[in-house]
Copies of this chain bind each other. A is one copy, B any other.
Amino acid sequence: MVEKRAICLLSGGLDSCVSAAIAKKQDYSLYALTFEYGQQHQREVQSAQQIAESLQVQEHIVFPLDLKQFQGSSLVDDTQEIPDASSLDRIGVTIPSTYVPARNTIFLSIALALAEVKEADAIFIGVNEVDYSGYPDCRPEYIKAFQAMADLATKKAVEGKKTLIETPLLHLSKKEIIKKGVEVNAPYYFSWSCYRGEEQACGQCESCLLRLKGFQDAGVADPLIYQSYPDWYTQNK
């Protein structure tokens, strides 16, 4: 049997953890790719390493990317504070301040280069429309356009070999993602979602709320301990 290889974008967060575990379940040999781009949540890189190890990847590439030069997002700009998500209802209505310009485009481009070097058949990325929450580069039409561009971009493409952009979570809700992760044995214990990056997850930022809501809806216990929990979470426990 010919070995199938996949580049797995691994942020250390929950979605990319599930996405990589799905690739593993599909018998791909994994090459994990994590970007170190001056996140406030540096903690995520550590988590990515633990997830990579847990999934027994062939190689884990940590790629430094100096996006601090691109001020304007609170995820890379030290001078901005990460906002509290005051209510779940407001998530997804506007493009959040945690938006980093062209982030997925940059990440997928570098993954495409790596796919050529490692002779990988696919790139797995954990984008989904719920996480869209205003991020333009998490939409299905964006992914389709990236695939069309990738099909023309490389030596490999000229030779007629495709690099598939695989987005197994694209149409799933957080609840479905978490159920899927249980199915494929995703190492949730090592995943990290909090935007604030303290010792413990805050339980108050947009990312923590989406995660807690997902676990609650899926009827699965989140193995992480949070600093504090929203009322709706503890009341329904």
Task: Give chain A's interface secondary structure class.
Answer: helix
Identify the closest chain B residue to A103 (Cβ): B113
Contact with B along A158-193 (1 / 0, CB 8 A): 100000000000000000000000000000000000
What is the distance, in angstroms, from A101's C-beta to the closest C-beta of chain B? Answer: 4
Contact yes or no, B117 A154, CB < 8 A: no
- Contacting residue for A153 out of B142, B152, B154, CB 8 A: B142
Contact yes or no, A70 B117, CB < 8 A: yes
| Chain A interface bracket (under 10, 10 to 19, 20 to 34, 35 or more) | 35 or more
Identify the closest chain B residue to A73 (Cβ): B117
Residue ranges of A at the interface with B (Cβ–Cβ < 8 Å): 61, 63-67, 69-72, 95, 99-106, 108-110, 112-114, 116-117, 136-137, 139, 141-142, 145-146, 148-155, 157-158
26 example contacts (A-B, Cβ-Cβ < 8 A) are as follows A65-B65, A67-B113, A70-B113, A70-B116, A72-B116, A72-B117, A100-B113, A101-B155, A102-B153, A104-B153, A105-B109, A105-B112, A105-B113, A105-B149, A105-B150, A106-B110, A109-B109, A137-B152, A137-B153, A145-B145, A145-B149, A145-B151, A145-B152, A145-B153, A146-B149, A146-B153
